[in-house]
Chains A and B, each alone.
Chain A
Amino acid sequence: MVDLTSSFLGIQSPNPFWLASAPPTDKEINVVRAFEAGWGGVVWKTLGEDPHIVNVNGPRYGAVHSSDRTLMGFNNIELITDRPLETNLEEIKRVKRNWPDRAMIVSLMVPCEEPNWASILKKVEDTGADGVELNFGCPHGMSERGMGAAVGQVPEYIKMVSEWCKLHTKLPVIVKLTPNITDIRFPARAAKDGGADAVSLINTVSSIVSVNLDTMSPEPSIDGWGSHGGYCGPAVKPIALNMVAEIARDAHTAGMPISGIGGVTTWRDAAEFLSLGASNVQVCTAAMTYGFRIIEELTSGLSNWMEEAGYERVEDIVGRAVPNVKDWQELNLNYIAKAKINQDLCIECGRCHVVCEDTSHQAITSSVNGKRHFEVIDEECVGCNLCVSVCPVDQCITMEQMTEGTDPRTGQPISSEYSNWTSHPNNPFSNG
């Protein structure tokens, strides 16, 4: 029997799915609906100081769609909560009191002065919330005022504010990181050095989602002008997975809990974040696309997979794939794979041939004995996986490892020994 309960920094929730700090967690009415639907916890939409900020009064969101208008990427220029601080605090207190088994984290963003942080932390403690998340991530609007990503892009600021927060509250402190940096490990290390208990990532990616070619205005357009927003949704998941893994396998931050965020749409996305070292996940875009009821798929999908795979508890998955994430130079150069086309499944669209011919290694035929036929030429195939990537039929082309004999491309015998770049004779810095 699978147990989906989650303990993140000792904060209990019935499942590892929290709603991220965002519009879905801005008000009591939304959060109660989320809890009724079954969400494990929420990170309340970022609180700031009074007077509360104002938002634009026009479109805040933009989207990248597929042809059938599946939402692939999502972009926003909304700021932090635009309601009075006291209103939010009252609602947080009431919701936490009424839903004691759900995680209640409060996201915060105030100017980089110690008294400001000390002051708001006390107010949050009074609500009975379970923890705080420091919003060092929002790339738009607030960053122009020296907050959000403007803090997250300077590791020294992250460390400084983390230290203040640990000093002024007993609540667990989570630092939410921006992906709009060169190397995610530096802000993560700064959070750890500042005493933060965990990091959550990623926040949104700076973006212009599209340009209206009639008006020449970026979208979303406010009176003919646009401003960069934050990109999120399924499109950013690969970026987030890498950043989570980088932190998980970095010696400096190893073991620091991670809350994974970025395009989680299905249970499989969540399982991937967990496997790369996240202890739980936060979701926003999927809920904003389909509504809160997706939690039913997320929990049932995750528990079905765990049951089949033989995992009993969420912790059993966390970090399982991390040991397999390596630097490129550690990859085994003696591993030889060739593409293989299953002729029974092949529908003869020829895309594998044309992309290999035009853009890669000329390793797939277009005809054999005058007949339309697509077949891998092992003498040319470098095993690059392009054909697999473009084939419209699942499992029609697979990469098959060669374990013995000679690689027909290089004429070299297949070696079962592990050998990587560090010892390769072509490497000027070879240690071999």
Chain B
Amino acid sequence: MTSQRLQSLTEELHPPLTAHEAGVESDRCYFCYDAPCITACPTGIDIPLFIRQIKADNPKGAAKTIFDENILGGMCARVCPTETLCEQACVRNSQEEKPVRIGELQRFATDTLMDTGRQPYERSADSGKTVAVVGAGPAGLSCAHRLAMHGHSVTIYESKPKPGGLNEYGIAAYKTIDDFAQREVDYVLSIGGIQVEYDQQLGTSVNLSQLKDQFDAVFLGMGLGGTNALNVDGDTPAGVHDAVDFIEALRQAEDPTALDVGRNVVVIGGGMTAIDAAVQSRLLGADDVTLVYRRGQDAMNASEFEQAVAQTHGVLLKTNWQPIQLIADDGQVSGVEFEQTDSANGSLQGTGNKRVFECDRVLLAIGQQFDAADALSGVELQDRRVRVDEYGRTSDAAVWAGGDCVSGGEDLTVSAVQAGKVAALSIHQHLSA
């Protein structure tokens, strides 16, 4: 059992393409004119060009094409829901319903260059300008790297003891083996000119007005921080955990195989985090894992591919059930009562049909919420998150923001990378003016 569980943390669900496989797959790309996949990529990677470079046995050139637009192209190749982004736009779908495997090719290229330990960029001459970046997640790292390319000096303030944000703390282990998230951060930071201060929480050990005084510009990329609580009656019994906390504990555990993941797990939620938590529980030895979502399967945020991954790993998907109450036995959770719902016409309504799903573990994956509002005096919010324009500018002329913490944020690594990049270019323009 232990060896099996250990294996589940060191083996990837989707092994990388070999050079031959990459060659064959790259040959499937038509090098389209004004390619739809480029438009579908939130960071606008020149996908046909990098695939052609792979085909021409130039994977390092391919990696630079990717990194030019997305310095976290390595992680995005692993976690992007490509079937709803670039691969959905592939013209091969019209022809044979089998898009080019863009994500796997991207991983082939980025792995090849990252394995050399060298990044294809040099920092420009020191501009003398300084920028504070709050949060060492995808948005912050992307912003910092682009600023460093332009010669600005960046200090990142990270609330956790390690960098990476949700790449480090919020993604299932099987998606990023071999400590990839940390290796990627090291790779990004190797450009120089970026300093990271850990255990620095905005509003506690560091505050915004200080940063505005000390730096020429500030970028906020701290993510959401908080998680939504389950809106049910009564106290929360033992055995009920937040899925993000579960994944964080797992990712940071010295010996993940020693974790008690429960035997009969109910995961509540329908997004990527719910899937990650469910699959991870199965891989770590839970006998039964049921993922319960209040709406229909079509409405799940988790992609069809992710849903299929869950199902092939023995996760039971139950849709159109909403939680009513947690049931405890002697202070320990023993089940969750759900009510069947009808979401056919868009609104969610209980049908009155109720049943209890027995379990000894509940993982809540019902969304995150922004918890740093109090630390952002003077910065306007919208929908309880930071309001920004298309360049990432906030209502404060010296402050930019991007990633999950802004209003309209898409909860995608790749979107956060783009937001950081766009804000960096805007900051650079501002500092160069």
Listed stretches A218-226, A230-238, A326-334, A346-354; interface member: A346-354
Listed stretches B21-29, B61-69, B334-342; interface member: B21-29
B95 touches A350 (CB 8 A): no
A366 touches B95 (CB 8 A): no
Q: How large is the interface on B (under 10, 10 to 19, 20 to 34, 35 or more residues)?
A: 10 to 19
Q: How distant is B389 from chain A, measured CB to nearest CB, in Å?
A: 26
A-facing mask of B88-101, CB < 8 A → 1, else 0?
Answer: 00011011000000
Query: Does A66 make an interface contact (CB < 8 A)?
Result: yes
B26 touches A392 (CB 8 A): no
Report if A350-B33 is in contact (Cβ < 8 Å); known contacts: A67-B55, A393-B95: yes
From A69, A351, A392, B95 is in contact (CB under 8 Å) with: A392
Complexed CA–CA distance, A332 and B33 (Å): 34
Q: How distant is A179 from chain B, measured CB to nearest CB, in Å?
A: 29
Q: How distant is A387 from chain B, measured CB to nearest CB, in Å?
A: 12
B contact residues around A353 at 8 Å (CB): 33
A392 touches B33 (CB 8 A): no
Interface positions of A from 377 to 396, Cβ below 8 Å from B: 392-393
Complexed CA–CA distance, A69 and B35 (Å): 27
A351 touches B24 (CB 8 A): no
Query: Does A68 make an interface contact (CB < 8 A)?
Result: yes
A contact residues around B23 at 8 Å (CB): 67-68
Report if A66-B34 is in contact (Cβ < 8 Å); known contacts: A347-B95, A392-B95: no
A351 touches B30 (CB 8 A): yes
B contact residues around A393 at 8 Å (CB): 95
Complexed CA–CA distance, A345 and B20 (Å): 31
Report if A349-B33 is in contact (Cβ < 8 Å); known contacts: A392-B95, A393-B95: yes
B31 touches A351 (CB 8 A): yes
Query: Does A372 make an interface contact (CB < 8 A)?
Result: yes
A contact residues around B95 at 8 Å (CB): 347, 392-393
From B27, B30, B35, B36, A66 is in contact (CB under 8 Å) with: B27
Report if A347-B33 is in contact (Cβ < 8 Å); known contacts: A67-B26, A68-B24: no
From A67, A69, A347, B91 is in contact (CB under 8 Å) with: A347
A348 touches B24 (CB 8 A): no
Nearest B residue (CB) for A390: B30
Complexed CA–CA distance, A66 and B92 (Å): 20
Q: How distant is A181 from chain B, measured CB to nearest CB, in Å?
A: 34
A-facing mask of B78-111, CB < 8 A → 1, else 0?
Answer: 0000000000000110110000000000000000
Q: How distant is A239 from chain B, measured CB to nearest CB, in Å?
A: 25
Query: Does B299 make an interface contact (CB < 8 A)?
Result: no
Report if A347-B92 is in contact (Cβ < 8 Å); known contacts: A67-B27, A68-B27: yes
Query: Does B206 make an interface contact (CB < 8 A)?
Result: no
B24 touches A67 (CB 8 A): yes
A-facing mask of B4-25, CB < 8 A → 1, else 0?
Answer: 0000000000000000100110
Q: How distant is A368 from chain B, measured CB to nearest CB, in Å?
A: 14
A366 touches B32 (CB 8 A): no
A350 touches B27 (CB 8 A): no
Interface positions of B from 389 to 413, Cβ below 8 Å from A: none
Report if A372-B55 is in contact (Cβ < 8 Å); known contacts: A66-B27, A392-B95: no
Complexed CA–CA distance, A80 and B56 (Å): 36
A350 touches B34 (CB 8 A): yes
Interface positions of B from 27 to 74, Cβ below 8 Å from A: 27, 30-36, 55
Complexed CA–CA distance, A353 and B30 (Å): 13
B-facing mask of A60-80, CB < 8 A → 1, else 0?
Answer: 000000111100000000000
Interface positions of A from 335 to 386, Cβ below 8 Å from B: 347-351, 353-354, 366, 372
From B26, B27, B94, A347 is in contact (CB under 8 Å) with: B94
A392 touches B30 (CB 8 A): yes
A contact residues around B91 at 8 Å (CB): 347-349
Q: How distant is B24 from chain A, measured CB to nearest CB, in Å?
A: 5
Complexed CA–CA distance, A68 and B20 (Å): 8
Complexed CA–CA distance, A353 and B26 (Å): 22
Write the residues of chain B forming the contact surface with A, with a CB cutoff of 8 angstroms.
20, 23-24, 26-27, 30-36, 55, 91-92, 94-95
- Beyond known contacts A347-B92, A350-B33, A392-B30: 6 more, CB 8 A cutoff: A67-B26, A68-B24, A69-B20, A347-B95, A350-B34, A393-B95
Q: What are 28 A-B contacts defined by CB distance under 8 Å?
A: A66-B27, A67-B23, A67-B55, A68-B23, A68-B24, A69-B20, A347-B95, A348-B32, A348-B36, A348-B91, A348-B94, A349-B30, A349-B33, A349-B91, A350-B33, A350-B34, A351-B30, A351-B31, A351-B32, A351-B33, A353-B33, A354-B33, A366-B33, A366-B34, A372-B34, A392-B30, A392-B95, A393-B95
Write the residues of chain A forming the contact surface with B, with a CB cutoff of 8 angstroms.
66-69, 347-351, 353-354, 366, 372, 392-393
